[in-house]
Homo-oligomer: A and B are copies of this chain.
Amino acid sequence: MSVLQEIGSNVRNMKQLENSVLARRTTQIKEELRQGVRKSYKEVIDVSWGDPHKAGVKPLSFVRQVLAACLYPQLMDGDKLLVDVRQRAQRLLKACTGGSVGSYSATAGIPEIVQRVSEFIMRRDGGVPSHPENIYICPGSQWALTNILTVLVNPEASPRTGVLTPVPCHSTTVLSLTALGAVVVPYYLREESGWALEVEELHRALDSAKGVCNPLALYVINPGNPAGYVQSRKSVQEVIRFAAEKRLFLLADEVYQECVYGEKTEFVSYKRALAEMGPPLSDRVELASFHTASKSLMGECGLRCGYVELVNLDPTVMKHINSLFSTNACAPVLGQIALDVMMNPPQPGDPSYHLYVKETQHIRTSVAENVKRVDEVINSLPGFSCQLVEGGAFAFPRLFLPPKATKRAEEAGMQPDTFYCLRLLEEAGVLLSPGTDYGQKEGTYHIRFCIMTSLDIMEELLRRLSIFHKRFMKEFS
């Protein structure tokens, strides 16, 4: 018997994701295919994560060349690499302690790269000042969010600390909140209005927390995940006003800021909107904004690097955040280098500029085409309805399942959308995630899949999904 007589309720309450059942079955299916078992497909298309390289998107050459040169500086001898690649690598290596990417960096990141991040933010926000000492580079934005939450969520507080959280919501945030002992206070995005974030709903959610917990923070995801909305400037301002009025700390997950597809859609950062609103709000509302090298056109998820910028935080709180970040030494240095390129890509006139633009443009147009195709194909299928994806990496269509299907799922002890996804995986070799992992209005079902794929993978995915879906709907009609 374990020495652990009792596991803390916070950890115990962490939900097991349905996706893990699907991931396990995927591993088995891949092994079956390897052993020559005959199926209607030769390989599994996995679009369950926001992982562009997994889904056929190619890495950007400039990023990879700079990284390779930093790792193995002998590559810079001769002229195989363009001069701007060599110069960038030399500059970055000089900024690394001991001139090696194998050394730890400062806790908040390599100072020169932190400086670049802050310059990027200022350009993005039309000149709103950004201070390097408020920026922490970290191994992934989710990791940073957990650290900030560790300071925000007081495990001894009674009533417990509440965090207003969207439904649907990126699943790991909810897991982290639960593990820390916070109360998740759900607010629902309005699907029929393109997953709009409405302030009346925030009021309702806050009221619902009365007597249950002490709401201290409001978590927003813009552009959305899994719901692909992009907030307008007006919407961002409304949320800031609400946070100010209710004295809530704003946690802005803005990792998909580079991924905006609508023609008239524009990403406006919470930091910019807040600054533009002027005092007293701009001096008062506490804000943490998250970004990452994973969730951008470069899509370097495997390098594990992001950053958080903190605005209007009390120096005492900053001190504690610094201590927490120190416990993991620093972010992966190669991830930091990718971040440097992302913040400061080749400029007109640089030898690598042309290829860089060509490659990023190719990704942009492919994803825009995917968005269009998803809209056309999914909305033409019976029992499906999909809001137009304005930003982010995912489509999150609603699935209207026949009662016979939900009944069969129930008999199998499964959520209806998990049942659908498992059948899709089994019969069509497509792995995507059930809406139940992200939260959804009771009685509604969804699926989530990544749209940052190559064109051919998206076509094959839609082809397999269409055939399967029609057969499934017929079977249970």
Contact = CB atoms under 8 A, between A and B. Distances in A.
Interface of A: 1-4, 6-12, 14, 16-17, 20, 23, 46, 49, 51-56, 59, 64-65, 67-69, 71-72, 75, 96-106, 139-140, 142-143, 146, 150-157, 172, 175-176, 179, 181, 216-217, 247-249, 286, 298-304, 313-314, 316-317, 319-320, 323-324, 326-335
Contact of A98 (B12, B53, B142): B53
Contacts of A10: 155-156
Give the 7 A-B residue pairs with the shortest CB-CB distance, closest first: A302-B333, A53-B100, A8-B154, A68-B72, A54-B98, A2-B314, A68-B68
B326 A140 contact: no
A317 B157 CA distance: 26
B4 A102 contact: no
Given A151-B7, A175-B327, A46 B97 contact: yes
Contacts of A320: 7, 11-12, 14
A286 B2 contact: yes
A165 to B, nearest CB: 15
Contacts of A67: 71-72
Nearest to A320: B11
Q: Which of A4, A6, A320 has the most CB of B within 10 A?
A: A4
Nearest to A217: B3
Contacts of A64: 71-72
Contact of A153 (B8, B14, B53): B8
B179 A327 contact: yes
Contact of A75 (B2, B68, B179): B68
Contacts of A153: 8
Given A59-B100, A155-B10, A302-B334, A4 B324 contact: no
Q: What number of copies of this chain does the assembly contain?
A: 2
A314 B4 contact: yes
Given A172-B327, A327-B142, A98 B286 contact: no
A152 B7 CA distance: 7
Given A72-B65, A104-B301, A329-B140, A249 B334 contact: no
A53 to B, nearest CB: 4
Given A14-B324, A64-B71, A157-B8, A105 B302 contact: yes
A368 B28 CA distance: 49
A4 B152 contact: yes
A66 to B, nearest CB: 9
B332 A302 contact: yes
A159 B154 CA distance: 18
B286 A326 contact: no
A54 B330 CA distance: 14
Given A102-B301, A332-B332, 12 more contacts: A2-B314, A3-B249, A16-B323, A20-B326, A23-B106, A49-B104, A53-B102, A105-B302, A143-B328, A172-B328, A179-B323, A179-B327
Contacts of A146: 327-328
9 contacts: A2-B316, A3-B247, A7-B317, A8-B153, A8-B154, A8-B157, A51-B103, A139-B328, A172-B329
A56 B99 CA distance: 9
A151 B326 CA distance: 21
Contacts of A329: 140, 142, 172, 301, 304
A286 B6 CA distance: 15
Contacts of A101: 302-303
Nearest to A301: B104
A181 B333 CA distance: 30
